[in-house]
Structure 1
Amino acid sequence: MGADVLVIGGGNAALCAALMAREAGASVLLLEAAPREWRGGNSAHTRNLRCMHDAPQDVLVDAYPEEEYWQDLLKVTAGKTDEALARLVIRASSSCRDWMRQHGVRFQPPLSGALHVARTNAFFMGGGKALVNAYYRSAERLGVQVRYQAPVSRIELRDGRFVAAWVGDERLTAGACVLAAGGFESNREWLREAWGCNARGEWPADNFLIRGTRFNQGTLLRHLIDDHQADAIGDPTQAHMVAIDARAPLYDGGICTRIDCVSLGVVVNREAQRFYDEGEDFWPKRYAIWGRLVAQQPGQIAWSIIDSQAVGRFMPPVFPGTQADTLPALARQLGLDEAQFMQTLDAYNAACRPGHFDHTVLDDCRTEGLAPAKTHWARPIVKPPFYGYALKPGVTFTYLGLRTDATAAVRFGGQPSANLFVAGEMMAGNVLGQGYTAGVGMSIGTAFGRIAGQRAASAAQRRESAHA
């Protein structure tokens, strides 16, 4: 046997599992599909962890109690979440930072300003790349074996128990296994299959950009569901999907491709019409619904329109937007129908009601008699120069996954496996049926990665004792 515990994946959840299993005394082999320079999956693009806390704590200000965290999650998922597992994640988020620090993760002082998350989220010093590197250094120091460019194509099971994994023609056995190999967001064919062809004859998935790693093909996820009939959960079209700069690269654009001015202006589609309330809620609670909204528009494209009043109130994009001194000129530069564009903007401007504008709170600046309404931060777009940013759907990770419980065990016909566990994107759909709130993906990966690693070590050790 190569190791007590086999961990398949190389991102945050996989690393948490590997570290916990090793700390519990198990020998561990981690298989990362990517080359070393691309290791870490989507975790390398993350920035923070959403944390529950009942009072100010080191890098977190004020308090963010369990119930508020739960209500935030409940709101963005519209109830499509397993409350017991969600609360498990929330509680675990309050006590994991000391363990993370022990493995080299550093946090930066509280942030203030337009992100509204100094109270709710702990930011990694150096971002996700630094976190991933710290975990790999710690893993190697503790004796975790790491193999790169080692994609697992299939696994062997016997009566719901893990037996072996295959990397090419190589068969690797272990006493227990943790699956943490990500979703299927990089698998264009699967995305096409999930999203299908719409009424306009378009294949929406053909216009999706992938914000993270190209290595998340969903190979093992499909293998477990189709070939082993593992219990699945989630809708294959639901994902962490952000409206990003349409000029972003196909893969690995990461955080710098985000366009954060949506809530401070209006968004129009190819037909120059608005289609959703831009001011529904704070941006960290709503940014991850806009990719899906844009995906449902003609051509899977839209434009965020702001004026100079909004400049300086949001994280500026890496690349400048299209700029014009008049709205008609902006419409022409964006290639939008000028008459329809002006009709949309004039109707919006006329519907804005006076209020006290404050982008740091849910203010009273709203529209009246307009559909869709803009419920907060609605100010007439009148101050030149004007800016337009083209948006496309950017998929971060998919929510279809393996059903699990508080033990992180993979389930077959409702029965938990004795030695096969799951963490991270491969099970995030248990908590995230739809929607997203900033930092919760890392909370899920950290909580279930640690549980899976600990359980896998125990399962492997029990098996060894039984064979002794």
Structure 2
Amino acid sequence: MDADVLVIGGGNAALCAALMAREAGASVLLLESAPKAWRGGNSAHTRNLRCMHQAPQDVLVDAYPEEEYWQDLYKVTGGNTNEHLARMVIRASSTCRNWMRRHGVHFQPPLSGALHVARTNAFFMGGGKALVNAYYRSAASLGIEVRYESPVDKLEIEEGQFKAAWCNGQRITAKACVLAAGGFESNREWLRQAWGQNERGEWPSDNFLIRGTAFNQGVLLRHMLEEHQADGIGDPTQAHMVAIDARAPLYDGGICTRIDCVSLGVVVNREAKRFYDEGEDFWPKRYAIWGRLVAQQPGQIAYSIIDSKAIGRFMPPVFNGVKANSLAELAHKLDLDASAFEATIAQYNAACQTGQFDHTVLDNCHTQGVMPQKSHWALRLDKPPFFGYALRPGVTFTYLGLRVDDTAAVRFNDIPSHNLFVAGEMMAGNVLGKGYTAGVGMSIGTAFGRIAGLNAARVAQSLSVLSGPVADEKQEHASH
């Protein structure tokens, strides 16, 4: 055998699996498809981890109990989630930080401001790139072998059991394997196939930008679903998709391209019409629906419009907004019909009800008599200069994946494999049927990466596969 445990992937979930397997005594080989400079996949673009806690806890303020976390997740997914697995993730999020610190991850003190997540999310000092680098340093110190530029294009599986992987023409064997190679968001052809053509004759995915890595082509995911008939889960059109600056690069624009002023103004499509409630809920709970909303608009483009009252109330993006001293001038610069645009803004302004504006709470500033309504933070757009940001759908990761149970085992005809496991984006659809809330992707990857790695190591050592609760217990033992 080339290793006791083979881990395929190079992001957070893969690294958690590799570290856990090595801590449990297994020899580990990790294959990362990207070059070393681009290692880490989408995890390099992350910032935080959503964490359950019953009381103030190191970098987390107040409390964020299990039931509130679950309700937040249930709401954004519309109930399209496996509650048992979701609650496993939630509970694991409360105990993983000490283990992460042991492997070199640092957390920053809570920040005040417009993010509203100091209570719910722990932020990585230096962001996701620092987290990924810390894990790779720890992997090196523990003797984990890492091979870069090593994409896996096929697996040998017999009767649901992993035998070998093929990488760059080489056959690699291991006693157990963890799949953590990401979704298919960077595969333009697969996105086009999944989204198809709309009623306007457009191919919506042609206008999508990819927030993260260019290396998540979904080769291994498709191979598992089509060649090996592994049990799948999820809708291929569902994804963590946000509204980002239309000027962002095709790949790897990351978080800094997100536009966060949506709830402080209005959003119009290219026909200068509003199409959704901009103030439905706090931005961290709603930012992830806006990519899909924009994808449904003509030309897959929209425009976030604010006035000067909003400046300083949101995290500024990397690109400056288009600035104008009048609405007519802004419409001209954004190539919108000025009459239609001014009429939309006038209708919105007339509908704004006087209230006590407070962007830190669900305030009573709302609209009345206009559709769509704006439920909170509705202030008239009347103080120049005005600003506009063109928006495109930005795909972070796709939700089509492999069905799992609480052991993280891949399933074939509803029978779990004895030695093949999956973590991260390749199985996130079990928890995220649709929607998203900030930091939950890292929670899923960390929880299931650790479970998959530990169970793979136990298999490699010819011991029984552990279930989720027992894996949690073993993880806690390992953390001490």
SS at match of 2:156: strand
CA offsets per residue over residues 228-270 of structure 1, 9 Å max, x none? 1100000000000010000000000001101100000000001
In 1, distance between residues paired with 2:285 and 2:219? Answer: 31
AA of the residue aligned to 1:259 = I
SS at match of 2:191: helix
Q: Kindly indicate whether residue 214 of structure 2 is the aligned counterpart of residue 203 of structure 1.
A: no
Q: TM-score, with normalisation over the residues of structure 1?
A: 0.99
AA of the residue aligned to 2:311 = V
The corresponding residue for 2:461 is: 461
CA offsets per residue over residues 300-352 of structure 1, 9 Å max, x none? 00000000011100001111111111111111111000111011111100011
| 1:187 Cα offset (Å) | 0.1
The corresponding residue for 2:83 is: 83
In 1, distance between residues paired with 2:76 and 2:463? Answer: 42
The corresponding residue for 2:99 is: 99
CA offsets per residue over residues 255-312 of structure 1, 9 Å max, x none? 1101100000000001000000000011101111100000010000000000001110
In 2, distance between residues paired with 1:154 and 1:394? Answer: 29
In 2, distance between residues paired with 1:75 and 1:382? Answer: 34
Is the Cα contact below 8 Å between 1:154 and 1:166 reproduced in 2? yes
The corresponding residue for 2:376 is: 376
In 2, distance between residues paired with 1:323 and 1:140? Answer: 49
In 1, distance between residues paired with 2:150 and 2:269? Answer: 42
In 2, distance between residues paired with 1:312 and 1:398? Answer: 33
Q: Kindly indicate whether residue 71 of structure 2 is the aligned counterpart of residue 68 of structure 1.
A: no
In 1, distance between residues paired with 2:144 and 2:317? Answer: 39
In 1, distance between residues paired with 2:338 and 2:418? Answer: 63
In 2, distance between residues paired with 1:221 and 1:344? Answer: 45
SS at match of 1:107: coil
In 1, distance between residues paired with 2:46 and 2:453? Answer: 21
CA offsets per residue over residues 385-409 of structure 1, 9 Å max, x none? 0000000000000000000011000
Q: Kindly indicate whether residue 317 of structure 2 is the aligned counterpart of residue 317 of structure 1.
A: yes
The corresponding residue for 1:42 is: 42
The aligned runs of 1:252-401 (5 Å cut-off) are: 252-401=252-401
The corresponding residue for 1:2 is: 2
Is the Cα contact below 8 Å between 1:175 and 1:463 reproduced in 2? no
The corresponding residue for 1:429 is: 429
In 1, distance between residues paired with 2:369 and 2:459? Answer: 61
In 1, distance between residues paired with 2:178 and 2:452? Answer: 6
In 2, distance between residues paired with 1:140 and 1:333? Answer: 52
AA of the residue aligned to 2:102 = Q
Is the Cα contact below 8 Å between 1:365 and 1:378 reproduced in 2? yes
Displaced runs of 4 or more, over 2 A = none
AA of the residue aligned to 1:181 = A
In 2, distance between residues paired with 1:425 and 1:43? Answer: 10
AA of the residue aligned to 1:9 = G
CA offsets per residue over residues 49-83 of structure 1, 9 Å max, x none? 00000000000000000000000000000000000
The corresponding residue for 2:449 is: 449
| 1:111 Cα offset (Å) | 1.4
In 2, distance between residues paired with 1:430 and 1:369? Answer: 40
Is the Cα contact below 8 Å between 1:279 and 1:378 reproduced in 2? yes
Q: Kindly indicate whether residue 114 of structure 2 is the aligned counterpart of residue 114 of structure 1.
A: yes
- Relative to structure 1, the CA distance from residue 174 to residue 463 in structure 2 (aligned partners, 3 Å threshold; closer, same or farther) is farther
The corresponding residue for 1:240 is: 240
SS at match of 1:243: strand
The corresponding residue for 2:440 is: 440
The corresponding residue for 1:225 is: 225
CA offsets per residue over residues 161-220 of structure 1, 9 Å max, x none? 000000021000100000000000000000000000011111000000000000000001
The corresponding residue for 2:170 is: 170
SS at match of 2:308: coil
AA of the residue aligned to 2:354 = P
C-alpha RMSD of the superposition: 0.8
In 1, distance between residues paired with 2:94 and 2:11? Answer: 21
SS at match of 1:260: coil
SS at match of 1:135: helix
The aligned runs of 1:179-198 (5 Å cut-off) are: 179-198=179-198
AA of the residue aligned to 2:92 = A
| 1:463 Cα offset (Å) | 7.6
In 2, distance between residues paired with 1:348 and 1:463? Answer: 65
The corresponding residue for 2:477 is: none
SS at match of 1:153: strand
The corresponding residue for 2:467 is: none
In 1, distance between residues paired with 2:344 and 2:236? Answer: 34
In 2, distance between residues paired with 1:251 and 1:143? Answer: 32
Structure 2: tracts of 5 or more residues without a match:
465-480
The corresponding residue for 1:151 is: 151
In 2, distance between residues paired with 1:156 and 1:307? Answer: 58
AA of the residue aligned to 2:137 = R
AA of the residue aligned to 2:405 = D
In 2, distance between residues paired with 1:338 and 1:169? Answer: 59
| 1:461 Cα offset (Å) | 1.1
In 2, distance between residues paired with 1:126 and 1:370? Answer: 43
Q: TM-score, with normalisation over the residues of structure 2?
A: 0.96
Structure 1: tracts of 5 or more residues without a match:
none
Is the Cα contact below 8 Å between 1:269 and 1:302 reproduced in 2? yes
Identity of aligned residues (%): 79
AA of the residue aligned to 2:441 = G
In 2, distance between residues paired with 1:160 and 1:281? Answer: 44
AA of the residue aligned to 1:79 = G
In 1, distance between residues paired with 2:99 and 2:333? Answer: 52
